[in-house]
């Protein structure tokens, strides 16, 4: 418990020093250029990941979902349009889907651990954490640019949902970058993941 509280206080102090920067995640939108997908969705996706605040993103996401074409239940080959690319779904009581989706827009993925307690995903740099997601067997913590949420105890299933959320963030955002912030590719053209063990 003392370890969790100490880590939480440290995270708050580091976050208070942070000044968020907008990076965007428009790369995820490329899948919307495929044939058969409603054309307006690509532009909505670019706008969503380029927006500079949560309110704008909420409005754009609502418009995106209004324009989405649902699949034809009578045609198993027609599943309709995909939901907004890049959104991560996890029902952890300490953070929302939007907070997960927006984490990378505040600062690059910096440090992660998914092999031991606490599991953690930090967006920021060596000198300052901007967004932090943390879970262990005792509870969970989310610290963002303007909010901190801490849960001292988790319901059955919530702990695993939080761990799944951190793993989803790691799978989506945690890749090695060069000095310009661009992802580095291996010889096969795949991005090289950050080692989170």
Q: How confident is the model at residue 145 (pLDDT cuts 50, 70, 90)?
A: confident
pLDDT at 89: 55
Average pLDDT over residues 59-72: 86
Q: How confident is the model at residue 64 (pLDDT cuts 50, 70, 90)?
A: very high
Inform me whether the pLDDT recorded for 61 exceeds 90: no
Q: Whole-angstrom Cα distance, residue 116 to residue 196?
A: 10
Domain boundaries, the chain: 2-22+87-173, 26-67
pLDDT at 54: 66
Q: Out of 8-22, 41-55, 118-132, 167-181, pick the least confident.
A: 8-22
Q: Is the pTM of the predicted complex or chain greater than 0.85?
A: no
161 to 44, 127, 196: CA distances (angstroms): 29, 29, 18
Mean pLDDT across the chain = 78
Share of the chain above pLDDT 70, in %: 81
Q: What confidence tens digit (pLDDT) does each residue in 84-141 have?
A: 887 765 668 888 877 888 888 888 888 999 888 899 999 988 888 899 999 998 899 9
Q: Look at strands 148-151 and 129-135 and give their pairing.
A: unpaired
Strand (E) positions, the chain? 109-113, 119-124, 129-135, 140-143, 148-151
pLDDT at 90: 61
Residue 92 CA neighbour count, 13 Å, CB half: 33
Number of neighbours of residue 124 by Cβ within 10 angstroms: 23
pLDDT at 91: 67
Inform me whether the pLDDT recorded for 46 exceeds 70: yes
Tokens matching residue 144: 């963002």
pLDDT at 123: 92
**Residues in the chain, how many?**
197
122 membership: H or E segment, kind and range: strand 119-124
């Amino acid at each position: 418990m003392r370890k969790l509280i100490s880590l939480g206080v440290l995270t708050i102090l580091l976050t208070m020093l942070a000044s968020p920067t907008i990076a965007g995640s428009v790369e995820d939108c490329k899948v919307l250029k495929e044939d058969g997908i409603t054309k307006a969705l690509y532009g909505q996706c670019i706008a969503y990941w380029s927006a500079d605040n949560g309110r704008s993103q909420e409005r754009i996401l609502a418009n995106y979902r209004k324009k989405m074409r649902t699949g034809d239940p009578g045609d198993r080959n027609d599943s309709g349009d995909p939901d907004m690319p890049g959104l991560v779904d996890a029902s952890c009581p300490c953070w929302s889907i939007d907070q997960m989706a927006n984490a990378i827009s505040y600062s690059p993925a910096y440090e992660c651990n998914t092999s031991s307690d606490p599991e953690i995903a930090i967006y920021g740099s060596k000198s300052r954490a901007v967004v932090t997601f943390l879970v262990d067997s005792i509870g969970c913590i989310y610290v963002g640019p303007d909010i901190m949420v801490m849960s001292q105890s988790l319901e059955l299933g919530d702990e695993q949902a939080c761990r799944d959320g951190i793993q989803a963030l790691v799978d989506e955002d945690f890749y090695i970058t060069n000095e310009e912030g661009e992802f580095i590719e291996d010889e096969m053209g795949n991005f090289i993941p950050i080692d989170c063990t």
